[in-house]
């Protein structure tokens, strides 16, 4: 397995085993009833729309778990952009076992490639700027590592993987302790050495941004600000703290947001709402 894959071997085995158990139950009754036990078949996996591939290693693992003797040729590796009609994988093996693996392999590959494909569309909108796209923690439970891996395949940077990856002070934290200054003071007194993003403060207003910078924040999460407000924050604080725009960002709005000069834009939609892409398994025999 490549070093940048998101799951350790045991995690991969557990994930695939769980996914197959969920789908197969006590056995594939239809294949057992209609397909001779020793019948062989060949098939190709085909992209039915333009897409960015993510999760091919999982599809391959699903197939090999069902049929360890399967002959698999991966044509399109993760991160590759393919056009509709492209063959992305070739496979041959026991017909019953391949039919049993089909839906689970496709479900995973379609979901993760959907994330990668939508992410790539967002990245393209801001490629002409120095701004980087970030994902968020808005993921399906159990799919966090995989969703963020797919976002990387699409060209995004990963934000916090988990809550222990960084300090991000939000409005509820501030309301509880009384002020941004007090929240940052409390964070500074705690061991934050594991933080990948320093001390980040969510700011809804330019006044909050001013207070956060004065109190020693490392990064500002500028939430639902207008582009004029973002430009003002960039003018005042660019180079002093990292600036991240967030909140309701769409494909129609991200270009103009990036052009304000912010360093990052975080988008929950790429992992939370990406539609699955259309991939089919076509049998040749």
Domain boundaries, the chain: 9-123+274-283, 125-272
Residue 118: what are its φ and ψ, rounded to 5°? -65, -40
Active site residue 207: no
**Given 223, 244, 263, 269, which residue is catalytic?**
223
pLDDT grade for 191, boundaries at 50, 70 and 90: confident
- Identical fold for domains 9-123+274-283 and 125-272, yes or no, is no
What are the pLDDT digits (tens) for 196-230?
Answer: 889 999 999 999 999 999 999 999 999 999 999 99
Cβ pair 264, 238 in contact under 8 A: no
Q: 125-272 — its CATH code?
A: 3.20.20.70
**Given 48, 90, 132, 170, which residue is catalytic?**
170
Q: How many helices (H) and strands (E) does the chain have?
A: 11, 12
What predicted TM-score, i.e. pTM, was given to this entire model?
0.95
pLDDT at 57: 97
Does residue 117 register a pLDDT over 60? yes
Does residue 153 register a pLDDT over 60? yes
What are the pLDDT digits (tens) for 1-56?
Answer: 344 789 999 999 999 999 999 999 999 999 999 999 999 999 999 999 999 999 99
Active site residue 235: no
**Given 28, 78, 135, 202, which residue is catalytic?**
202
pLDDT at 285: 64
How far, in Å, CA of 153 to CA of 268, rounded? 16
Active site residue 124: no
Mean residue pLDDT across the chain: 96
Active site residue 170: yes
pLDDT at 4: 76
User: Which residues fall within 8 angstroms of residue 71, CB to CB, at 6 or more apart?
Assistant: 91, 92, 93
Query: In this structure, how many other beta carbons lie within 10 angstroms of the beta carbon of residue 10?
Result: 8
Task: Provide the phi-psi class of 216: left if phi over 0, else alpha when psi is between -120 and 50, else beta.
Answer: left
**Given 90, 124, 138, 231, which residue is catalytic?**
138
What are the pLDDT digits (tens) for 242-271?
Answer: 999 999 999 999 999 999 999 999 999 999
pLDDT at 213: 98
pLDDT at 119: 98
Cβ pair 267, 245 in contact under 8 A: no
Cβ pair 203, 221 in contact under 8 A: yes
Half-sphere exposure in the Cβ direction for 160 (13 Å, CA): 15
Active site residue 97: no
Domain 9-123+274-283: which CATH class? alpha beta
Percent of the chain with pLDDT strictly greater than 90: 94
């Amino acid at each position: 397995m490549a070093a940048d894959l998101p799951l350790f071997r045991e995690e991969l085995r557990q994930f695939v085993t769980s996914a197959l158990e969920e789908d197969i139950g006590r056995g594939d009754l239809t294949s057992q009833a209609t397909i001779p036990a020793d019948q062989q078949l060949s098939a190709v996996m085909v992209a039915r729309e333009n897409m960015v591939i993510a999760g091919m290693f999982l599809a391959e693992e699903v197939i090999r778990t069902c049929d360890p003797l399967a002959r698999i040729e991966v044509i399109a590796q993760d991160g590759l952009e393919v056009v509709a009609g492209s063959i992305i994988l070739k496979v041959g093996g026991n017909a019953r076992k391949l039919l049993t693996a089909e839906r689970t392999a496709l479900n995973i590959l379609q979901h993760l490639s959907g994330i990668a494909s939508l992410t790539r569309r967002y990245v393209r909108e801001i490629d002409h700027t120095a701004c980087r796209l970030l994902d968020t923690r808005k993921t399906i439970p159990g799919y966090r590592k995989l969703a963020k891996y797919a976002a990387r395949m699409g060209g995004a940077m990963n934000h916090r993987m988990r809550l222990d990856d960084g300090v991000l002070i939000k409005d509820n934290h501030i309301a509880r302790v009384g002020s941004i200054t007090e929240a940052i003071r409390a964070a500074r007194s705690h061991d934050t050495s594991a933080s990948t993003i320093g001390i980040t403060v969510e700011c809804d207003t330019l006044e909050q941004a001013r207070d956060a910078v004065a109190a020693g924040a490392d990064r500002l999460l500028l939430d639902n600000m207008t582009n004029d407000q973002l430009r003002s924050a960039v003018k005042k604080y660019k180079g002093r703290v990292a600036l991240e725009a967030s909140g309701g960002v769409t494909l129609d709005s991200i270009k103009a947001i990036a052009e304000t000069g912010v360093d990052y834009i975080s988008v929950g939609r790429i992992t939370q709402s990406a539609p699955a892409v259309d991939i089919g398994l076509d049998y040749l025999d």
